[in-house]
Amino acid sequence: DAGDHESFMHKEILEQPAAAERVLRGRLDQRFATGHLGGLNLDARELREIKRIKVLGCGSAYYVGQMGATLIEELARIPADAEAASEFRYRNPIIEPDTLYVAVSQSGETLDTLLAVQEIRRKGGRTIGLVNVVGSAIAREVDGGIYLHAGPEVAVASTKALTNMYLGFAMLALQLGRVRDMSIADGRRLIGALEALPRKIEEIIATDDHLAGVAERLAEAESLFFVGRVRGFPVAREGAQKFKEISYRHAEAYQTSELKHGPLALISPAVPTIAIVPDDELVERNVAALHEIAARKGPLVVVTHDSVPLRGIKAERIVVPRSEVELDPILLTVPLQILAYHAARHLGHDIDKPRNLAKSVTVE
């Protein structure tokens, strides 16, 4: 029941602070400054033996998986990457016994992801799931995992489940890091930041009016770029995905660093760019790229922190609250959901059931 909300997507965006609190509840161990993820079915020795992480998911789950892999590599210093589950088994991947395979899925029924898990298990790989729907096919197939406790998600465009996936990855990274060389101080720093996230998500949601105005202008464009670097690149991919799913506008994600290798040719007053520019070690490079876009008269929307100097660049600023730098991606993602929502609403589209798409894809 969407209650007073005009769409499930809107309801689910607003539910994110409460959903985020649920996924964290009881899973942060203050005393030892680590994650407490009993469902993994992996003890400290087994966690220490993991040499590599491979994340598998489809669509937005894959993009959040890419954020999660980056987070694990940064925090736990374990080589990690994400791949589209729909491609994985067709390239006869090498399944290694000391790799942990992480399947990510809201529904737990996405056939491509389920088949990837089955292929890994057939070849002796160890799997865990980050799944929202309890008792779903993927949840039953994996060796252990983390339930996301986002509550039922009805809108085809996923929001709260993705946020909780990210938090699941953060807790996994913390637990993996703390049986390796992450210090207690670093563990505590992250726990404090994780606990503060629900309120920060609320702050972003409270900027709805500003985001609605920006979205209405973006909705007029036939084609848009979403750009980001390293931590910001999967944020850009997810932002473009959400925008195209429900606004039906052509939205393309690129690494900001790759613009000059081709796509810069398309920048013009008719093609806005939504740039992800957190105040991190890449800020100078990112701002330099904004100059390149502005010089070609490309309209700019910059999703950023208030400390980032735009140095006279003409741009619409969307400011998100600071967190610890590793956790920035999730706060940078939330305004992109709201932009997509308002663009689709402005265009009069069916927000919860976009054309040609199903909530869960149970065919190959």
Q: Which residues form the interface with ligand AGP (CB under 6 A)?
A: 58-61, 105-107, 110, 113, 156-158, 245, 360-361
Task: Give min distance, CB of 195 to ligand AGP, in A.
Answer: 26
Q: Which residue of this chain has its Cβ atom nearest to ligand AGP in the complex?
A: 59
DSSP letters for 213-234: HHHHHHTT-SEEEEEE-TTHHH
SS3 of 312-353: CCCCEEEECCCCCHHHHHHHHHHHHHHHHHHHHHHCCCCCCC
Instruction: In angstroms, give the least distance from the CB of 20 to ligand AGP.
Output: 17
3 state SS of 145: strand
Nearer to ligand AGP, 110 or 273 (CB): 110
CB of 110 to ligand AGP, least distance (A): 3
CB of 359 to ligand AGP, least distance (A): 7
Q: 146: which strand partners?
A: 130
Q: What is the DSSP string of 182-215?
A: --HHHHHHHHHHHHHHHHHHHHHHTTHHHHHHHH
Question: How near is the Cβ of 105 to ligand AGP at its closest, in Å?
Answer: 3
Report in angstroms how near the CB of residue 102 gets to ligand AGP at its nearest: 13
Between 34 and 106, CB nearer to ligand AGP:
106
The residue among 78 and 330 lying less far from ligand AGP, judged by its C-beta, is: 330
Contacts with 206 (C-beta within 8 Å, 6 or more apart), sequence order: none
Comparing CB distances to ligand AGP, the nearer of 66 and 113 is 113
Measured from the CB atom, the residue of 70 and 113 that comes closer to ligand AGP is 113
In the Cβ-directed half-sphere of 264, how many Cα atoms lie within 13 Å?
A: 15
Residue closest to 176 by CA, chosen among 55, 44, 279, 80: 44
C-alpha to C-alpha distance for 17 and 205, rounded to whole angstroms:
9
Using the minimum distance from each CB to ligand AGP, give the nearer residue, 166 or 304. Answer: 166
Residue 103, SS3 per DSSP: strand
Under 8 Å between Cβ of 91 and 138: no
Shortest distance (Å) from residue 116 CB to ligand AGP: 11
Nearer to ligand AGP, 23 or 315 (CB): 23
